[in-house]
């Protein structure tokens, strides 16, 4: 980051000037030829109204001579008329060009802003930027300003350039008044315009700040309005008779933020403008009265017309600028959020480049030794001194209550996060020394919030090993092992059917079928070089019977392979070769299902508690009690 990109630390005028300067500097990212053309266009649009006023003033001066038949006066009258017409025509012709150039600059700048946002979000091999609450909020804030379009940094940058036209016009009118009348009057005109502009910008800034302060109050009314207009909620609202309640609640919620906003608007926009208007009226009246008195002595009618038109034209420049004011205010804010995000992200150290260490095949174990980890902004670490072992060729289950760190363990294993202390090794080799992507090629994961790609079914599976998309037989084999091939073959286009109903020829799958797509994707990766298959609570939304059946199918499909099951439901992992119970940032217990039940500790207590909830308590003879629901025998409900 250059010195020009650093935000000014202190507040007030200097800080705002710094923000606007940094915003204006973005124009260079759109290409200097485009900026040069835009500057010329803005200057022309600003000066053409001044040319019109000067031409009409001169026209008045030569009309009497032309009427009297003076040839020179007639020629000058025609010339001034042509100049005035050309000024009007030129302004009309350049106005759409101004809009076009501004839009080009905005889009080019916003395209690069989006690239910078993406680069900040994707910096480094892990997800630490997205896991940091402060950085995530900065990313969302900057992203929202770009998505809003008219409030984006690109629009703000174009708005800054649009100010050149207004500035050129004010300078032209001031010079005209100074030359035709006197420079004190010109200074007075500039002072009136600047006072009104100060009031406009101050009011806009204060109103924007008040709106941000009311954002929390607005969220409820925005939610209620969206709820009333969404099709999924319509059925329940009507069946339960919630329409009247929803309308009344929306009204109360809206007034809760509108009333303070109206009061703030009166305080910000009305009262100060009494003072600004009084100042402007006194100064303008003085200026015009002085011009009138001077005209009575020395100025011709043409001179009076020139001065009055220039003064009135200049005064109009004290108004709100729709092409720049709102855009620069919000665009600068979004750009500052981007700069703050980039500074914070660059301050985070990147892992050292990995040495050229070959990635070993998983033959013996993956081991966590003394691993400590905590998320930024959170007081309590997730892990303090974690030791655990994942044995090769067997199924290991990680269980624990919600929030104990099961998903974090998967992030550490896949190097989406790096441990604060300790090591993770594969067959004795520290995975932190391995090239990140090469290590990830050895892992297939089904996350709890797995992706549902709007692509065809074959690609949804092939994305597990995207370099092998041409392996049609492998895709079908993975789908078959996931118990989904028959379902996919019955789709309108078979495995070529887009899995999104709004796409042409598309279809939608049920939740359980999507979970099998995710499993097939992981199995396809396993078939193309991965050593470890991880299931991170992908079935958390299923009932216990459907989840148990899914895990049974999973264990059969991965028999003899290294696999890791993550779950908060103890009853669904009973068939794992080894079960590890996490609690308080460390391993609390480990063993087989029978060993942990016999131990009578945390696992046994939670297992029996969950079993009671589902009528799933083991019978004394080792079988299942009456009324028990056997997951292996449970049939998935139709539909």
The per-residue pLDDT for range 479-515, each reduced to its tens digit, is 998 888 999 999 999 999 999 888 888 898 988 888 8
Q: In what order do the strands lie in the sheet with 383-391?
A: 383-391, 365-373, 421-426, 429-430
User: What is the distance, to the nearest Å, from the Cα of residue 152 to the centroid of all Cα atoms in its chain?
Assistant: 12
Mean pLDDT (whole number) for 396-416 = 87
Query: 522, 447, 440: which is closest to 484 by C-alpha?
Result: 522
Strand 365-373 and strand 383-391: pairing?
A: antiparallel
Token pair listed for 638: 């139709």
- Tell me what the mean pLDDT of segment 614-628 comes to: 43
Task: Return d(Cα 519, Cα 539) in angstroms, integer.
Answer: 11
Beta carbons within 10 angstroms of residue 212's beta carbon: 11
Percent of the chain whose predicted confidence (pLDDT) is above 70: 85
Does the pLDDT value for residue 33 go beyond 80? yes
Per the CB < 8 A criterion, the answer to whether 396 and 390 are in contact is yes
| Edge-to-edge strand ranges of the sheet holding 578-583 | 443-446, 532-536, 562-567, 395-399, 578-583, 586-591
At a CB cut-off of 8 Å and minimum separation 6, what does 95 contact?
Answer: 45
Q: Nearest CA to 473 among 491, 485, 456, 487?
A: 485
pLDDT for the residue 149: 64
> Could you tell me which residue, 272 or 509, shows the higher pLDDT?
509
Give the position of tokens 């109903």: 501
The yes-or-no verdict on residue 7 having pLDDT over 60 is no
The pair of three-digit structure tokens given for residue 598, joined into one six-digit string: 């016999």
The count of other CB atoms within 10 Å of the CB of residue 566 is 25
3-class DSSP assignment, residue 498:
strand
What integer pLDDT is reported at residue 622 of this predicted model? 41
d(CA 205, CA 442): 53
Render pLDDT for 130-173 as a digit per residue (tens, 0 to 9).
767 777 777 777 777 777 666 788 888 999 999 999 999 999 99
pLDDT for the residue 571: 67
Angle at 347 between CA 342 and CA 351, to 5 degrees: 110
Query: Using CA atoms, how far apart are residues 17 and 306, in angstroms rounded to an integer?
Result: 34
- The counts of H helices and E strands in the chain are 22, 10
611 pLDDT higher than 90 = no
CB 58 within 8 A of CB 76: yes
pLDDT at 573 > cutoff 90: no
Separation between Cα atoms, residue 361 and residue 531, nearest integer Å: 7
Residue recorded with tokens 């090794």: 425
β 395-399/562-567 pair status: parallel
- Beta-sheet pairing, 532-536 with 562-567: parallel
d(CA 485, CA 495): 9
Rounded to whole angstroms, how far apart are CA atoms 344 and 134? 9
Helix H or strand E segment including 85: helix 71-122
Neighbours of 94 (CB within 10 A): 18
| The pLDDT value given to residue 3 | 40
Cβ-Cβ contacts under 8 Å for 458 (sequence gap 6 or more):
469, 472, 475, 495, 496
Cα 467 to chain centroid, rounded:
30
Taking alpha carbons only, the member of 417, 441, 421, 416 closest to residue 368 is: 421
DSSP state of 497: S
Per-residue pLDDT, 98: 92
Which H or E run includes 589?
Answer: strand 586-591
| Least confident stretch, 54-58, 62-66, 628-632 | 628-632
Q: Quick check: 5 pLDDT over 70?
A: no
| Residue 387 C-beta-side C-alpha neighbours within 13 Å | 3
Kindly state the helix (H) or strand (E) to which residue 424 belongs, with its residue range: strand 421-426
Residue 567 has pLDDT above 50, yes or no: yes
Predicted confidence at residue 92, as pLDDT, reads 93
Mean pLDDT confidence for 33-45: 94
Kindly tell me the sign of the dihedral angle through the C-alpha atoms of 220, 223, 229, 231.
negative
pLDDT in tens, 219-254: 778 888 888 887 767 777 777 777 888 888 888 888
Helix (H) or strand (E) holding 101: helix 71-122
What count of Cα atoms within 13 Å lies in the side-chain half-sphere of residue 169? 25
* Mean pLDDT, rounded, for 443-453: 88
pLDDT-based confidence at 612, cuts 50/70/90? low
Confidence of residue 610 (pLDDT cuts 50, 70, 90): confident
Point out which residues pair with 391 in neighbouring strands. 365
Q: Which residues, 6+ apart, have CB-to-CB distance to 517 below 8 Å?
A: 452, 457, 460, 461, 482, 484, 499, 509
630 has a pLDDT exceeding 60: no
Other Cβ atoms less than 10 A from the Cβ of 560: the count is 8
- pLDDT band of residue 4 (cuts 50, 70, 90) is very low
The answer on pLDDT for 559 being more than 70 is: yes
Query: What is the C-alpha to C-alpha distance for residues 286 and 309, in angstroms, rounded to an integer?
Result: 16
424: which strand partners?
Answer: 368
**Cα distance between residue 193 and residue 185, in whole Å:** 13
Q: Please tell me whether residue 403 adopts helix, strand or coil conformation.
A: coil
Classify the phi-psi angles of 381: left when phi > 0, otherwise alpha if psi is within -120 to 50, otherwise beta.
beta
Going by pLDDT thresholds of 50, 70 and 90, the confidence category of residue 10 is: very low
Q: Is 639 helix (H, G, I), strand (E, B) or coil?
A: coil
Spatial distance between the Cα atoms of 17 and 136, rounded to a whole number of angstroms: 27
């Amino acid at each position: 980051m250059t010195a020009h990109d650093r935000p000014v630390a202190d507040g007030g005028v200097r800080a705002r000037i710094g923000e606007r300067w940094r915003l204006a500097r973005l124009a260079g990212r759109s290409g200097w030829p485009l900026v040069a053309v835009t500057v010329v266009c803005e200057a022309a649009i600003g000066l053409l109204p001044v040319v019109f006023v000067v031409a009409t003033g001169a026209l008045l001066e030569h009309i009497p001579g032309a009427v009297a038949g003076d040839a020179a006066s007639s020629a000058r009258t025609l010339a001034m008329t042509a100049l005035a017409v050309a000024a009007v025509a030129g302004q009309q012709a350049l106005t759409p060009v101004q809009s076009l150039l501004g839009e080009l600059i905005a889009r080019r700048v916003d395209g690069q802003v989006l690239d910078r946002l993406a680069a900040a979000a994707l910096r480094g091999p892990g997800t630490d930027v997205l896991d940091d609450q402060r950085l995530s909020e900065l990313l969302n804030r900057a992203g929202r300003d770009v998505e809003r379009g008219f409030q984006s940094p690109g629009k703000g940058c174009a708005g800054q350039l649009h100010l050149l036209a207004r500035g050129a016009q004010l300078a032209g009118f001031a010079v005209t008044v100074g030359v035709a009348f006197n420079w004190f009057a010109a200074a007075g005109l500039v002072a009136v315009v600047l006072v009104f502009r100060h009031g406009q910008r101050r009011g806009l800034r204060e109103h924007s700040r008040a709106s941000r302060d009311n954002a929390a109050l607005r969220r409820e009314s925005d939610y209620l309005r969206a709820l009333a207009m969404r099709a999924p909620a319509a059925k329940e609202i009507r069946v339960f008779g919630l329409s009247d309640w929803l309308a009344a609640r929306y009204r109360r919620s809206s007034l809760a933020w509108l009333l303070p906003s109206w009061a703030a608007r009166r305080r910000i926009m009305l009262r100060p403008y009494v003072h600004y208007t009084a100042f402007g009226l006194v100064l303008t009246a003085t200026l015009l009265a002085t011009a009138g008195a001077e005209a009575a002595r020395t100025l011709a009618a043409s001179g009076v017309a020139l001065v009055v038109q220039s003064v009135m034209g200049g005064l109009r420049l004290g108004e709100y600028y729709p092409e720049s004011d709102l855009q620069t205010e919000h665009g600068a804010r979004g750009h500052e959020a981007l700069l703050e995000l980039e500074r914070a992200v660059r301050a985070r150290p990147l892992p050292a480049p990995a040495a050229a260490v070959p990635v070993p095949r998983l033959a013996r174990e993956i081991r966590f030794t003394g691993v400590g980890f905590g998320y930024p902004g959170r007081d309590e670490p997730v892990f303090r001194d974690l030791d655990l072992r994942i044995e090769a060729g067997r199924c290991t289950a990680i269980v624990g209550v919600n929030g104990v760190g099961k998903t974090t363990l998967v992030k550490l294993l896949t190097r989406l996060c790096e441990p604060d202390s300790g090591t993770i090794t594969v067959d004795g080799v520290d995975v932190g020394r391995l090239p990140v992507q090469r290590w990830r090629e050895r892992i297939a994961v089904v996350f709890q919030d797995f992706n549902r790609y709007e692509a065809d079914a074959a690609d949804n599976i092939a994305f597990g090993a995207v370099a092998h998309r041409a392996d049609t037989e492998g895709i079908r084999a993975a789908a078959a092992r996931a118990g989904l091939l028959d379902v996919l073959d019955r789709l309108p286009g078979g495995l070529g059917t887009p899995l999104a109903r709004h796409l042409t020829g598309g279809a939608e799958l049920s939740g359980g079928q999507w979970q099998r797509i995710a499993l097939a994707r992981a199995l396809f990766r396993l078939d193309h070089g991965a050593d470890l298959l991880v299931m991170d609570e992908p079935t958390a939304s299923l009932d216990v019977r459907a989840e148990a059946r899914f895990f049974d199918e999973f264990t059969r499909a991965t028999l003899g392979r290294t696999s890791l099951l993550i779950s908060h439901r103890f009853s669904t992992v009973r068939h794992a070769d080894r079960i590890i119970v996490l609690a308080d940032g460390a391993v609390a217990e480990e063993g087989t299902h029978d060993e942990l039940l016999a131990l009578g500790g945390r696992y046994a207590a939670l297992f029996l508690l969950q079993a009671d909830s589902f009528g799933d308590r083991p019978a004394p003879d080792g079988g299942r009690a009456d009324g028990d629901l056997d997951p292996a025998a449970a049939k998935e409900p139709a539909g």
